[in-house]
């Protein structure tokens, strides 16, 4: 039995793969403790899954001169020392990091403590914590084959167990019935993530009559912060949050969404073609996340400013109106999906530990 410290958090893109690996390792009787911050999403999700969460101070890397930047090296050194103390106290054998504020101190602590270190990068463009960590270990896993971390093993994005199960064959008509949809209508799944996506929401709401006239029903997940009332009418079902994403994906013929790493990976693993509208703020990683599946023919990328009701009527509806096109796109998406990503990453982690033990 090996005792692991899994570090990461802040966003679902870090927390969900961390929890997927944690569950997989625990199923093999390994012990898992996690590391994050009190402010991140992990503070809520990790205890819900029954794992212990250790926390350190949230330390964003300074990007310009300031009082915070002046004292950052000392605060970072303290965080590293704190993690080294945790490694000793909990007798940790190996560290696995997923990026986010808690990861960089954990990477340095593992390196200084001579513990095996594995890094998983969810996005095609790596964040600063994982770019630092990649210099401290040879055990690097990435979700996409166009990742800027190299050399690395392409393990894919660890997926939630219920999503993997939907890949194995959820009945489409049954899924629609469970969600209150017409079991026989072509279905578009729209989601902008937990925060929603205003440009997507606005264009879809304006286009719902046109989509309905084309015989396309909509399952529209607007996001908790969109502040839009839930609606259930013929051909259009709007909800703030969906706790049955396995059924939602299984029910859909096509998706319309942002291009977060988890979303792209889940859709591809399930063979769900999608129109991706990358989040326009940040370093542009969402565009690169979708590149692999788009190049394979399993999706399309639309710039946020170009996603309008005209695009829906002129581009999206024609695609969804041809079952053969949808079928080809679904097959292409599935061809690049990695439904066993959790097992691939777990095997890489265990191999890294065994290699270090032999050394």
The packing angle between helices 103-112 and 67-89, to 10°, is 50
Residue pLDDT tens, the chain, 359 long:
899 999 998 877 789 899 999 999 999 999 999 999 998 889 989 999 999 999 999 988 888 888 888 888 999 999 999 999 999 999 999 999 999 889 999 999 999 999 999 999 999 999 999 999 999 999 999 999 999 998 999 999 998 877 877 777 788 999 999 999 999 999 999 998 656 688 999 999 999 999 999 999 999 999 877 788 899 999 999 998 888 899 999 999 999 999 999 999 999 999 999 999 999 877 778 999 999 999 999 999 999 999 999 999 999 999 999 999 999 999 999 999 999 999 999 999 999 998 865 45
Distances (CA, A) of 109 to 5, 88, 125, 134, 213: 11, 11, 24, 14, 59
Helices marked H in the chain — which ranges?
A: 12-27, 42-48, 67-89, 103-112, 128-133, 161-167, 172-178, 198-213, 245-251, 261-269, 285-289, 291-296, 309-311, 317-320, 323-336, 341-358
Site of tokens 């303290």 = 78
- pTM of the complete model: 0.90
Of 16, 14, 13, 21, nearest to 5 (Cα)? 21
For residue 162, CA distances in Å to 20, 45, 86, 115, 158 come to 11, 16, 32, 32, 12
Q: Of how many residues is the chain composed?
A: 359
Burial of 63 (0-12, 13-18, 19+ CB in 10 A): exposed
Angle between helices 12-27 and 341-358 (to 10 degrees): 70
Task: Tell me the C-alpha distance between 57 and 322, whole Å.
Answer: 53
**Cis amide linkage into residue 84, ω under 30° from 0:** no
| Separation in Å, CA 80 to CA 84, 195, 352 | 6, 32, 22
Burial of 233 (0-12, 13-18, 19+ CB in 10 A): exposed
Query: 3-class DSSP state for residue 216?
Result: strand
């Amino acid at each position: 039995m090996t005792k692991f410290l899994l570090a990461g958090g802040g966003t679902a893109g870090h927390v969900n793969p961390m929890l997927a690996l944690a569950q997989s390792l625990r199923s093999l009787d390994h012990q898992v403790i996690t590391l994050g911050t009190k402010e991140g999403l992990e503070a809520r999700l990790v205890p819900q899954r029954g794992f212990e969460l250790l926390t350190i101070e949230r330390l964003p890397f300074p990007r310009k001169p300031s009082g915070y930047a002046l004292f950052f090296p000392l605060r970072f050194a303290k965080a590293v020392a704190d993690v080294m103390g945790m490694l000793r106290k909990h007798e940790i054998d190996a560290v696995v990091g997923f990026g986010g504020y808690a990861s960089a101190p954990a990477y340095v602590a593992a390196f200084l403590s001579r513990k095996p270190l594995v890094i998983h990068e969810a996005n095609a463009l790596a964040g600063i914590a994982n770019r630092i960590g990649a210099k401290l270990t040879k055990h690097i896993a990435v979700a996409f084959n166009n990742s800027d971390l190299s050399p690395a093993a392409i393990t894919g994005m660890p997926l939630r167990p219920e999503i993997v199960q939907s890949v194995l064959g959820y009945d489409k008509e049954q899924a629609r019935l469970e969600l209150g949809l017409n079991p026989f209508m072509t279905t578009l799944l729209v989601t902008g993530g937990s925060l929603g996506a205003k440009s997507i929401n606005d264009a879809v709401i304006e286009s719902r009559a046109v989509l309905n006239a084309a015989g396309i029903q909509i399952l529209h997940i607007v996001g908790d912060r969109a502040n839009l009332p839930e609606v259930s009418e013929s051909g259009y079902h709007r909800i703030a949050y969906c706790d049955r994403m396995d059924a939602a994906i299984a029910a859909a013929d096509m998706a319309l969404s942002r291009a977060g790493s988890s979303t792209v990976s889940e859709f591809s693993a399930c063979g769900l073609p999608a129109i991706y509208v990358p989040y326009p703020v940040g370093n542009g990683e969402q565009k690169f996340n979708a590149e692999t599946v788009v190049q394979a023919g399993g999706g399309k990328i639309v710039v946020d400013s170009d996603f309008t009701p005209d695009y829906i009527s002129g581009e999206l509806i024609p695609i969804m109106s041809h079952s053969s096109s949808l079928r080809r796109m679904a097959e292409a998406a599935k061809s690049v999906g990695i439904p066993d990503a959790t097992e691939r990453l777990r095997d890489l982690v265990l191999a890294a530990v065994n290699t270090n033990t032999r050394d």
